[in-house]
Amino acid sequence: MAAKQTKKRILIADADQDVLKKLGAALEAAGFEVLLAKDGSKALECSILKTPDIVLIDRNCPLIDAQRFSSILRANPRTENTPMVVLTDQPEESDAGAPHSYLEGSITKPFNLDEVVARISGIAKKIETAESVTQEDRAIVGNLAQISLVDLLQIFSMNRKTGVLALKTSKQNGEIGVSEGRLVDAKFGRATGTKALYRMLKEKAGEFGFAPGKATKDVTLQGAVDSLIMEGMRQEDELDRLMTSLPALDDVIERIPGEKAEDLHPLMRTVLEALVEPRQVYDLFDAVPVPDFEVAQALQHLITARLARQRATKDGATGNFEPVLPEALVFMLRSYLHRALPGSVDMRRPRVLVVADDPRRVVKFWSGLQGITEFQKADASGSMKYGYGMMGSLPVATDLAMDLVALPMRMDLLPASVPLTLGALGIICLSSGAEDSTGLEKFREAMEGRLSVPWLEVTVDPSQADVTFEGEPRAVRGILAAFCRALGKS
């Protein structure tokens, strides 16, 4: 940094004299001025009279603990912005008890002295950068290891800065225009506006430079600084989750020939038009001007609607899948999940139980499942030769799959089968349709007593009792389709 270096003052508050002695000596050796306090009352007095730059305080400091100490500090204009680090013996509670805006984090005891010194040095560099930014009409340079882009933009806002922040990363270069503390323009590579800003907010490494007083004519951003930052961070998290169910960034996406695109949302139509020629996912993100998360959402809908797909490789593999069920039935399944079973099952991997009055039918059903390309056979499926256990998972949409479990229709084994029934969406019963159904009815009553879920009974013609589903996945698809229709009527 170009700013003048100053010796930072560190306050350590802890009842453990050994911590005060060793940590104080290590920080002094690193060039800091150190203040020591054996309890929260002394620490508060020291904070008011000597205004330390950084406070390290034990969570359970005597007289005044860390939570109360923090509240008092924030109420005093002289100390309200003092960074505070909590020393704790309980890492699982490291951020409990004080708002995150009050903390620079926590350090778990016992700690490594070198790591603590490095942590405090990083906070001190961040303070120096912030001090440089707040000075009037001064150009600054630095890197994101010293201070994050989020912190920089918030400082610009609080100090009503005007100028251009240039950012250089290993990926590409960008800049953000600032006017009276407001963010008015953003460019990052080919991206502009919120798309560019949200991409830059993800960057954790790179160099920056701020040139004050330089007006910008372009206006591509609207809204409060905090709102833009919070929305960018939210979309980053949502995009990370969504990308786990989409093709990889370097995979090629193409339109499905002959499919009609009717009544599409404008954004979905824009994304589809960008696929006039096959292109890689990251190139598609660049081609559509809205934020990446919105493009990913539109792409997911296009794939689900069978308007776009991952392009096949030379060996015919795609890494994608053809929908197992029509979109209307997938919609019924989703509706039932949200309407009837909120919070009781995994909305992305609901469990479906399969039973039969003859275990051979379950085995044949399982064989038919394996004829469906998308079916993912369970690792522990060895017991399936007896018609019992985890069959596997069957994706029905990019973000939705059925976990299929086989249960024996035996009352004596029902208690041992309870773990397999947890989180069940419903039960498919493959019945022979025999007149003597006493055993079936007893089992159904027992299951309905344990699970309040739909029971779908599929009758196999007794004259074709030996019919096999193997090599005929269409029959299995038909049973699953009937199951989804039954859910829609529930």
Domain spanning 9-129 has what CATH number? 3.40.50.2300
d(CA 155, CA 133): 7
Q: Which tens digits make up the pLDDT trace of 87-144?
A: 888 764 444 444 444 467 788 888 888 888 988 888 888 777 767 666 656 677 888 8
Question: Peptide bond before 247: cis, by omega within 30 degrees of 0?
Answer: no
Residue with more model confidence, 450 or 8: 8
Residue 364: CB atoms within 10 A of its CB come to 23
Specify the DSSP class assigned to residue 233. Answer: H
Please give the average per-residue pLDDT across 257-279, as a whole number.
Answer: 83
Name the pTM for this structure.
0.49
Q: How big is the CA angle at 221 (ends 217 and 226), to the nearest 5 degrees?
A: 130
Write out 20-78 in H/E/C secondary structure.
HHHHHHHHHHCCCEEEEECCHHHHHHHHHHHCCCEEEEECCCCCCCHHHHHHHHHHCCC
* Tokens matching residue 181: 């503390």
pLDDT value of position 99: 40
pLDDT of residue 432: 67
**Cα–Cα dist 332/339, whole Å:** 10
Q: How high is the pLDDT of residue 228?
A: 93
Rounded-to-integer distance, Cα 286 and Cα 204, Å: 21
Q: Could you give the C-alpha distances from 197 to 194, 228, 231, 238, in angstroms and in order?
A: 5, 9, 11, 16
Q: Are 115 and 189 in contact (CB under 8 A)?
A: no
Q: How far apart are the first and last CA of the chain?
A: 66
C-alpha 454/C-alpha 456 separation (Å) is: 6
Q: pLDDT at position 459, please?
A: 61
Q: Which fold has domain 327-489?
A: Rossmann fold (3.40.50)
Alpha carbons 30 and 38: distance in angstroms, whole number: 22
Q: Which of 135-149, 392-406, 465-479 is least confident?
A: 465-479
| pLDDT class of 156 with cuts at 50, 70, 90 | confident
Task: Give the neighbor-by-neighbor strand order of the sheet with 54-58.
Answer: 33-37, 9-13, 54-58, 84-88, 103-108
pLDDT at 196 over 90: yes
What's the pLDDT tens digit per position in 137-153? 667 788 887 788 988 88
Phi, psi of 387 (to 5 degrees): 75, 35
Q: Which residue has the tokens 């790591």?
A: 115
Q: Cα(119)–Cα(124) distance, rounded to whole angstroms?
A: 9
The two tokens of residue 418 are: 């309870």
The pLDDT of 257-272, averaged and rounded, is 82
Pick from 160-174, 190-204, 249-263, 314-328: least confident: 314-328
pLDDT classification of 472: cutoffs 50, 70, 90: low
Higher-confidence residue: 455 or 332? Answer: 332
pLDDT bin (cut points 50, 70, 90) of residue 442 is confident
Under a CB-based contact definition with an 8 Å cutoff, are residues 92 and 108 in contact? no
Question: What phi and psi values does residue 295 have, to the nearest 5 degrees?
Answer: -65, -45
pLDDT of residue 194: 96
DSSP reduced 3-state for 204: coil
Tokens, residue 425: 């969406």
- Mean pLDDT over 216-241 rounds to 90
Kindly state the percentage of the chain with pLDDT values over 90.
22
Residue 275 has φ and ψ, to the nearest 5°, of -95, 30
Checking if the pLDDT of 299 tops 90, the result is yes
Q: What is the mean pLDDT of the chain?
A: 80
Band (3; pLDDT cuts 50, 70, 90): very low
In the block, residue with structure tokens 């306090």 = 37
| CA neighbor of 85 nearest in space, from 63, 131, 49, 52 | 52
Q: What percent of the chain has pLDDT over 70?
A: 80
Q: What is the pLDDT, as a whole number, of residue 81?
A: 79
DSSP letter at 268 equals H
Q: Which two tokens stand for residue 291?
A: 């934020």
Residue 298 confidence (pLDDT) above 80? yes
